[in-house]
Amino acid sequence: MPAQHPPPESSLSVTLQILSIVFYTFIAFICIGLPIAVLPGYVNDQLGFSAIVAGLTIASQYLATLLTRPSAGRIVDKHGTKPAVVYGLIGIAVSGVLTSLAVMLQDISVLSLSILIIGRVFLGIAQGLIGVGTISWGIAQVGSQHTARAIGWNGIASYGAIALGAPLGVLMIDSLGFASLGVALLGLALLALLIIRNKTSIPVIAGVRLPFWSVFGLIAPYGLSLMLASIGYGTLTTFITLFYIDRGWTGAAYCLSVFGVCFILARLIFTNSINRLGGYRVAIACMALETLGLILLWLAPSTVFALLGAGLAGFGLSLVYPALGVEAVKQVPSSSRGAGLGAYAVFFDLALAIAGPLMGAIALNLGYPWIFFCAALLCIVGMLLTLGLSRRIN
């Protein structure tokens, strides 16, 4: 008799398995999104520091995430995906406690800022652990043929959480005060730790594990393209509030929400195009659209045009990460997948870490609109690099 093969899993079954894992990404990014629209203003107005310091405060989280990625990849490859996620949730809880403490000491501005930054560092470490852990968990759960879908849904969870968390954070600040954000972070982390207790992790993949720096070298060309495209996102999230204030506008949090909604819609509708058209083609087309959105933000005469620019930027950036990620993961063996995803994510973190101080300096010297023009130029460079990679491979 011919060998019996199990029927392929339905698309719905695959999606549900991925969603049960990226739930923890959603929790993590709700915690990142809650303070993202209000923290720069808090550092600038309540604590009395400059726009550059506000940018550095945001960037401290992304820098911590960047430095955590190699360790996160090793934890995933050697110990499994669930431990990485659990450690990340603990980091969020610690960040919540420190955020509340910083507000209690806000009369001592330097001490308050220092504690706030330490809290951001713990949140950044958590982001690094949970990001690598959930994507690796999802790919291992449903198979490498669904890599784009696993990465795509992870992004939907993260940006959807930010789109929800940013305006929610503003409402919480207005009604309950800044200290309520710390309490929210602690409560959400404890809830997720309670839920994850009985969830089964995926066994560690056997095989030779490449040193991180060897993996990094293989991933670097793809990561550099991602970094150049992602600086626009870091610019938007870090400075959109101050950009709106500079222009005399209100409703900056909704600009982040429009970005997130368009990002999610693009991933829901077009993620499968990566398998059909190839990662390179999709990434190049999306970078072109993101560039258009950033230019529109640069030239925006009103909030309507700013919202449209944010939407185009979100729609464009949406598939850059999974499209280049699919091509990047092909460069490393499955036994080093965690390290590969960690190395790839380093470049996204680097973009966000660079965006704060770099664009803060540009804003002080040229004005806030010009930060979006500079981000658009960098996105064009990333598009050209991706075009070069596609021609080299083909």
Report the pLDDT value the prediction gives residue 209, as an integer from 0 to 100: 63
Per-residue pLDDT for 289 more than 90?
Answer: yes
- Lowest-confidence segment of 45-49, 94-98, 308-312, 367-371 by average pLDDT: 45-49
Average pLDDT over residues 278-307: 93
φ and ψ at residue 174, rounded to 5 degrees = -65, -35
Per-residue pLDDT for 3 more than 50?
Answer: no
Per-residue pLDDT for 120 more than 80?
Answer: yes
Per-residue pLDDT for 4 more than 60?
Answer: no
Please choose, from the candidates 132, 146, 200, 155, the residue with its C-alpha nearest in 3D space to the C-alpha of residue 12. Answer: 146
Number of structural domains, the chain?
1
CB 70 within 8 A of CB 203: no
Q: Which residue has the higher pLDDT, 38 or 385?
A: 385
Report the pLDDT value the prediction gives residue 140, as an integer from 0 to 100: 76
Between CA 309 and CA 294 the distance in angstroms is 6
Does 7 map to a domain?
no
The domain in which residue 69 lies consists of 13-202+210-393
CB 212 within 8 A of CB 344: no
DSSP 8-state class, residue 169: H
Does 4 map to a domain?
no
The SS3 assignment for 128 reads helix
Taking the model in full, what pTM does it have? 0.73
Per-residue pLDDT for 5 more than 50?
Answer: no
Does 157 map to a domain?
yes
Does 242 map to a domain?
yes
Does 61 map to a domain?
yes
Rounded alpha-carbon distances, angstroms, from residue 53 to 42, 169, 278, 314, 319: 11, 21, 41, 26, 31
Residues 6+ apart with CB under 8 A from 275: 148
Domain containing residue 159: CATH number: 1.20.1250.20
CB 241 within 8 A of CB 41: yes
Does 8 map to a domain?
no
Chain position carrying tokens 């990333």: 382
Per-residue pLDDT for 206 more than 60?
Answer: no
Digit-coded pLDDT (tens) for 15-37: 788 888 889 999 998 998 888 77
Percentage above 90 pLDDT, the chain = 28
Report the pLDDT value the prediction gives residue 50, as an integer from 0 to 100: 78
DSSP 8-state class, residue 108: S
Chain position carrying tokens 């070069």: 388
CB 58 within 8 A of CB 155: no
Chain position carrying tokens 């850059």: 320
Alpha helices in 80-145 (DSSP H): 81-104, 109-142
Report the pLDDT value the prediction gives residue 138, as an integer from 0 to 100: 81
Does 31 map to a domain?
yes
In the numeric block, which tokens belong to residue 186?
């602690």
Report the pLDDT value the prediction gives residue 267, as an integer from 0 to 100: 85
Does 380 map to a domain?
yes
Between CA 142 and CA 149 the distance in angstroms is 10
Task: Count CA atoms closer than 13 A to 312's CA, side-chain side.
Answer: 22
